[in-house]
Amino acid sequence: MGAHPLLVRAAQCVEAARALNDEFPEKGKMPAEVKHKMDLLLNEASECKAQFEREQRLDGLDDFLKAPVLKHDMGGASEAGGKPVAEIGGVYTSDKERQQKANRAFFEFVRKGHNMAPEVKADLVEDASGMVLIPHDFAGTIVKDIPRRAVMRNLATVRPTSRNKVDVGSVTIAAAGWGKMETGTVPSDGLGGAPGLDAIEVFDLNALIKLGRDELEDSDEDLSATISDALSLKFAEQEDDAFAAGNGTTQPQGLAVSTAITQGVAAAAGQTVTGDELKSVIFQLPSWADRNAAWLGHKSAELKIALLKDANGNYLWQPRVSETEPAMLMGYPWYRLDGLPAITTTADAGAGTDKSVFFGDVRAGYMIADRRRLTVQRLDELYAAQGKVGLLFTMRVGGGVIRPNAMAWYKL
């Protein structure tokens, strides 16, 4: 027997209110119209609860009056047949139980769309726009797996946010400088270049997964592993490409696109790498920036750098010795970032033009902004002829250079 319609509606109102609350976790940041909508949802849920309890009391008393006197338990059982009201509809549950029910409802949605039983659909978590939210623990397995497959997330500063734009004005602090206010002396800001972004805008990152009918019949655990593995890989690839060379208008701002990073070395001969030029890149940065510095390079540059040797015939670039240890170049970690520009033939004969290599403290110089919660849209008909169901997953992420003097480029 399904849950009572009043409890189904109450559960829908509570979860909708909870989704709104999760969108604005910071105290005092919730807009007035969102607060008003939450109040309406919670009031409706309370009224549904009160009406349900009234009906249960009425039914209980009605049964009491109709039954023989000797059948009644005089030991203090509740009106609803000895079972507490909170247990009947399954609405008032612990966080763990609610999460388990949300997970079951989510995977039922993946298999059947909205053609699911009403009592299961009541546990499906949706945001204010009606998009299905991925349960916290399942989303966590995806997000936690992305750094294992990505480069920039392991190196940059990652900041969670609940907003569409992150103010980083307080982060782009200039180096201290000496001066006297009394004499009007203006202290240097120490940047040595243009400032970084004042704010990082958050964009939608979409990933489409097409699942065959056979995969949809798998257990929740198998289906979870299939989806999370595919998503984390695709999100990692798309993120790294954007953080490397994103245009900054429809996707995060990439390192190679930032005009604020003005320091670097251009190769004397196009597409030709030299050890002296690489070493010169290191000295483009202030001392604080090279303490935690690393190299980032496109694979076309990596190939040329890997062939460089010193006077004794030793390779300058050393491959990694394990999965957890990166390759090394001149005493600093080397990471391949294929989203950076490849070394290409250009019209500038003998001059480096492509920012194929970067060096610096990525954590100090680049920030990634993560908008909380992942959503999914089920596409039933678009891939029906292929015998598949499409799942369009969306996460919200931004990125940009916040301290330009922490990074330097090498143009080839």
pLDDT recorded at residue 96: 67
CB contact at 8 A, 367 and 171: yes
Strand-pair category, 264-266 with 407-411:
parallel
Whether residues 139 and 226 share a domain: the answer is: yes
- Angle at which helices 5-23 and 32-66 pack, to 10 degrees? 160
Whether residues 228 and 183 share a domain: the answer is: yes
The amino acid present at 285, given as its one-letter code, is: L
Whether residues 118 and 154 share a domain: the answer is: no
The two structure tokens encoding residue 168:
């980083």
H/E element holding 103? Answer: helix 95-112
φ/ψ (deg, to 5) at 78: -75, 170
Whether residues 153 and 118 share a domain: the answer is: no
pLDDT recorded at residue 396: 87
Whether residues 173 and 243 share a domain: the answer is: yes
- Is the torsion defined by CA of 104, 106, 112, 114 positive or negative? positive
The structural domain count of the chain equals 2
Burial class (CB in 10 A: 0-12, 13-18, 19+), 246: buried
Q: What is the CATH number of the domain that holds 370?
A: 3.90.1690
The helix/strand/coil state of 119 is helix
d(CA 373, CA 127): 10
H helices then E strands: how many in the chain? 13, 14
Whether residues 391 and 309 share a domain: the answer is: yes
End-of-domain residue from the set 102, 133, 164? 133
The two structure tokens encoding residue 67:
């039954």
Strand-pair category, 199-201 with 388-401:
unpaired
CB contact at 8 A, 170 and 163: no
pLDDT recorded at residue 129: 63
Whether residues 52 and 75 share a domain: the answer is: yes
H/E element holding 100? Answer: helix 95-112
Whether residues 124 and 151 share a domain: the answer is: no
Q: How many angstroms from the chain centroid is the CA of residue 292?
A: 25
Residues 6 or more apart from 336 whose CB is under 8 A from it?
Answer: 151, 297, 298, 299, 302
Beta pairing partners, 273? none
pLDDT recorded at residue 71: 39
Task: Kindly calculate the radius of gyration of the chain based on its CA atoms and give it in whole angstroms.
Answer: 29
End-of-domain residue from the set 110, 133, 156? 133
pLDDT recorded at residue 93: 52
CB contact at 8 A, 371 and 164: yes
Whether residues 237 and 120 share a domain: the answer is: no
Task: Please give the model's pTM, rounded to 2 decimal places.
Answer: 0.65
The secondary structure of residue 283, as a DSSP letter, is T
pLDDT recorded at residue 350: 45
Compute the C-alpha angle 216/220/226, nearest 5°: 65
Range of the domain at 223: 134-412
pLDDT recorded at residue 171: 46
What DSSP letter does each residue of 357-396 carry, written as one string?
EEEE-HHHHEEEEEEEEEEEEEESSTTGGGTEEEEEEEEE
pLDDT recorded at residue 29: 72
d(CA 231, CA 75): 56
Whether residues 235 and 356 share a domain: the answer is: yes
pLDDT recorded at residue 330: 93
Whether residues 121 and 216 share a domain: the answer is: no
d(CA 268, CA 307): 18
pLDDT recorded at residue 363: 92
Cα–Cα nearest to 127, from 288, 214, 249, 12: 12
The amino acid present at 42, given as its one-letter code, is: L
Strand-pair category, 294-297 with 264-266:
unpaired
Q: Which residue has the tokens 């090394």?
A: 328
d(CA 258, CA 281): 17
| pLDDT in 10s for each residue of the chain, 412 residues | 457 788 888 888 888 888 888 777 666 677 878 888 888 889 888 888 888 888 888 877 766 665 544 333 333 443 334 444 344 344 445 566 777 777 777 777 777 777 777 766 666 666 666 667 777 667 777 777 777 788 998 899 888 877 787 777 544 444 556 665 555 555 444 444 445 677 888 898 888 888 887 777 777 777 878 888 888 888 889 999 999 999 989 999 999 999 999 999 998 887 889 999 999 999 999 989 888 999 999 999 999 999 999 888 899 999 988 877 899 999 999 999 999 999 875 544 445 578 999 999 999 999 998 886 788 888 878 888 888 888 888 888 999 999 999 999 999 8
Task: Classify residue 93 as left (phi > 0), alpha (psi -120 to 50) or beta.
Answer: beta
Whether residues 128 and 138 share a domain: the answer is: no
What is the greatest pairwise CA distance in the chain? 104
End-of-domain residue from the set 72, 103, 133? 133
